[in-house]
Amino acid sequence: MRGDLDALVELWRHLDEVQRHLRIYPPATDQEAVVRSEMTGLIDDADSCTFVVESVAEVVAMATAEVGRKGGLNDTVVCRLSRVVVHPDHRARGVASMLIGHAERFARARGAAFLSAWVYSGNADGKSYWLQRGFAPRAEELVRPILGEGSEEDP
Protein backbone atom coordinates (compact mmCIF):
# COMPACT_ATOMS: atom_id res chain seq x y z
CA MET A 1 0.00 0.00 0.00
CA ARG A 2 2.77 2.45 0.91
CA GLY A 3 4.29 1.61 -2.50
CA ASP A 4 1.03 2.73 -4.16
CA LEU A 5 1.17 6.22 -2.64
CA ASP A 6 2.60 7.87 -5.76
CA ALA A 7 -0.11 6.26 -7.89
CA LEU A 8 -2.81 7.35 -5.43
CA VAL A 9 -1.55 10.93 -5.45
CA GLU A 10 -1.58 10.78 -9.26
CA LEU A 11 -5.24 9.69 -9.14
CA TRP A 12 -6.03 12.40 -6.61
CA ARG A 13 -4.87 14.89 -9.29
CA HIS A 14 -7.79 13.73 -11.47
CA LEU A 15 -10.15 14.42 -8.58
CA ASP A 16 -8.47 17.77 -8.02
CA GLU A 17 -9.08 18.64 -11.69
CA VAL A 18 -12.81 18.24 -11.10
CA GLN A 19 -12.83 20.04 -7.75
CA ARG A 20 -10.18 22.75 -8.11
CA HIS A 21 -12.48 25.44 -9.51
CA LEU A 22 -15.23 24.55 -7.01
CA ARG A 23 -13.18 25.27 -3.91
CA ILE A 24 -14.00 28.42 -1.99
CA TYR A 25 -11.25 28.16 0.59
CA PRO A 26 -7.83 28.98 -0.91
CA PRO A 27 -5.93 25.69 -1.29
CA ALA A 28 -2.92 24.94 0.87
CA THR A 29 0.35 25.46 -0.97
CA ASP A 30 1.45 21.90 -0.13
CA GLN A 31 -1.77 20.09 -1.05
CA GLU A 32 -0.06 16.99 -2.39
CA ALA A 33 2.03 16.63 0.75
CA VAL A 34 -1.16 16.92 2.82
CA VAL A 35 -2.90 14.24 0.73
CA ARG A 36 0.14 11.99 1.01
CA SER A 37 0.38 12.43 4.76
CA GLU A 38 -3.37 11.88 5.30
CA MET A 39 -3.28 8.71 3.24
CA THR A 40 -0.21 7.44 5.06
CA GLY A 41 -1.93 8.15 8.38
CA LEU A 42 -4.90 6.01 7.37
CA ILE A 43 -2.78 2.95 6.51
CA ASP A 44 -2.29 1.94 10.14
CA ASP A 45 -5.88 2.68 11.18
CA ALA A 46 -7.91 -0.54 11.43
CA ASP A 47 -11.16 1.36 10.87
CA SER A 48 -9.99 2.88 7.60
CA CYS A 49 -9.18 1.42 4.25
CA THR A 50 -8.31 2.78 0.83
CA PHE A 51 -9.59 0.41 -1.83
CA VAL A 52 -7.88 0.45 -5.20
CA VAL A 53 -8.50 -1.12 -8.58
CA GLU A 54 -5.56 -2.05 -10.75
CA SER A 55 -5.51 -2.60 -14.49
CA VAL A 56 -2.38 -3.96 -16.13
CA ALA A 57 -0.44 -3.28 -12.91
CA GLU A 58 -1.56 0.37 -12.84
CA VAL A 59 -3.76 1.81 -10.10
CA VAL A 60 -6.76 3.24 -11.96
CA ALA A 61 -9.26 3.93 -9.18
CA MET A 62 -9.48 4.48 -5.46
CA ALA A 63 -11.96 5.08 -2.66
CA THR A 64 -11.21 5.69 0.99
CA ALA A 65 -13.57 4.40 3.68
CA GLU A 66 -13.36 5.60 7.29
CA VAL A 67 -15.64 4.12 9.93
CA GLY A 68 -16.41 6.00 13.11
CA ARG A 69 -19.09 7.36 15.41
CA LYS A 70 -20.93 10.33 13.97
CA GLY A 71 -20.46 12.30 17.15
CA GLY A 72 -22.54 15.27 18.25
CA LEU A 73 -25.99 14.30 19.44
CA ASN A 74 -25.94 10.73 18.19
CA ASP A 75 -23.69 7.71 18.37
CA THR A 76 -24.52 6.18 15.01
CA VAL A 77 -21.59 4.47 13.34
CA VAL A 78 -21.09 5.85 9.85
CA CYS A 79 -18.64 4.97 7.10
CA ARG A 80 -17.42 8.09 5.37
CA LEU A 81 -16.32 7.67 1.76
CA SER A 82 -13.83 10.09 0.31
CA ARG A 83 -11.43 10.48 -2.61
CA VAL A 84 -13.62 8.36 -4.83
CA VAL A 85 -12.12 8.68 -8.27
CA VAL A 86 -11.74 6.53 -11.36
CA HIS A 87 -9.15 7.36 -14.02
CA PRO A 88 -10.99 8.97 -16.99
CA ASP A 89 -9.95 6.09 -19.30
CA HIS A 90 -11.65 3.53 -17.05
CA ARG A 91 -14.99 5.16 -16.26
CA ALA A 92 -18.46 3.76 -17.04
CA ARG A 93 -17.31 0.14 -16.62
CA GLY A 94 -18.54 -0.49 -13.10
CA VAL A 95 -15.21 0.29 -11.43
CA ALA A 96 -16.63 2.75 -8.87
CA SER A 97 -19.47 0.32 -8.13
CA MET A 98 -16.93 -2.36 -7.34
CA LEU A 99 -15.04 -0.02 -4.99
CA ILE A 100 -18.20 1.08 -3.22
CA GLY A 101 -19.27 -2.57 -2.89
CA HIS A 102 -16.00 -3.37 -1.11
CA ALA A 103 -16.30 -0.27 1.06
CA GLU A 104 -19.84 -1.27 2.02
CA ARG A 105 -18.74 -4.75 3.09
CA PHE A 106 -15.88 -3.18 5.09
CA ALA A 107 -18.36 -0.79 6.73
CA ARG A 108 -20.90 -3.50 7.62
CA ALA A 109 -18.16 -5.66 9.14
CA ARG A 110 -17.31 -2.74 11.47
CA GLY A 111 -20.90 -2.11 12.51
CA ALA A 112 -21.58 0.96 10.38
CA ALA A 113 -25.24 1.73 9.71
CA PHE A 114 -24.71 4.29 6.94
CA LEU A 115 -22.36 5.14 4.11
CA SER A 116 -21.79 8.85 3.69
CA ALA A 117 -20.13 10.65 0.81
CA TRP A 118 -18.97 14.24 0.73
CA VAL A 119 -19.30 16.09 -2.56
CA TYR A 120 -18.89 19.71 -3.66
CA SER A 121 -22.29 21.26 -4.46
CA GLY A 122 -20.95 22.31 -7.89
CA ASN A 123 -19.75 18.80 -8.81
CA ALA A 124 -22.85 17.96 -10.85
CA ASP A 125 -21.47 14.64 -12.14
CA GLY A 126 -20.26 13.53 -8.73
CA LYS A 127 -23.55 14.51 -7.14
CA SER A 128 -25.66 12.73 -9.75
CA TYR A 129 -23.48 9.64 -9.28
CA TRP A 130 -24.22 9.49 -5.55
CA LEU A 131 -27.92 10.22 -6.05
CA GLN A 132 -28.09 7.44 -8.65
CA ARG A 133 -26.48 5.07 -6.10
CA GLY A 134 -29.22 5.75 -3.51
CA PHE A 135 -27.49 8.47 -1.48
CA ALA A 136 -29.63 11.41 -0.36
CA PRO A 137 -28.54 14.91 0.71
CA ARG A 138 -28.45 15.29 4.50
CA ALA A 139 -27.01 18.76 5.15
CA GLU A 140 -25.57 21.70 3.32
CA GLU A 141 -22.69 23.95 4.33
CA LEU A 142 -23.29 27.63 3.53
CA VAL A 143 -20.24 29.86 3.36
CA ARG A 144 -19.76 33.63 3.18
CA PRO A 145 -16.39 35.41 3.14
CA ILE A 146 -15.91 37.97 5.88
CA LEU A 147 -12.68 39.50 4.61
CA GLY A 148 -12.46 41.68 1.49
CA GLU A 149 -14.76 41.19 -1.50
CA GLY A 150 -18.07 39.58 -0.57
CA SER A 151 -17.97 40.57 3.08
CA GLU A 152 -20.93 42.60 4.29
CA GLU A 153 -18.52 45.28 5.54
CA ASP A 154 -16.98 45.61 2.04
CA PRO A 155 -18.14 49.06 0.80
Ligand X SMILES: CC(C)(COP(=O)(O)OP(=O)(O)OC[C@H]1O[C@@H](n2cnc3c(N)ncnc32)[C@H](O)[C@@H]1OP(=O)(O)O)[C@@H](O)C(=O)NCCC(=O)NCCS
Please report, as ranges, the residues that interact with ligand X according to CB under 6 A: 15, 18, 84-86, 91-97, 119, 123, 125-126, 128-129, 132
**Shortest Cβ distance from residue 63 to ligand X (Å)?**
8
User: Which residue, 136 or 147, has its beta carbon nearer to ligand X?
Assistant: 136
**Shortest Cβ distance from residue 155 to ligand X (Å)?**
38
User: Which residue, 67 or 99, has its beta carbon nearer to ligand X?
Assistant: 99
**Shortest Cβ distance from residue 6 to ligand X (Å)?**
19
CA torsion 24-29-31-33 (nearest 10°) is: -160
**Shortest Cβ distance from residue 85 to ligand X (Å)?**
4
The whole-angstrom separation of Cα 47 and Cα 128 is 28
**107 near 64, Cβ under 8 Å?**
no
Among 62, 57, 51, 53, residue whose Cα is nearest residue 9: 62
- Which one-letter amino acid corresponds to residue 11? L
The whole-angstrom separation of Cα 65 and Cα 54 is 18
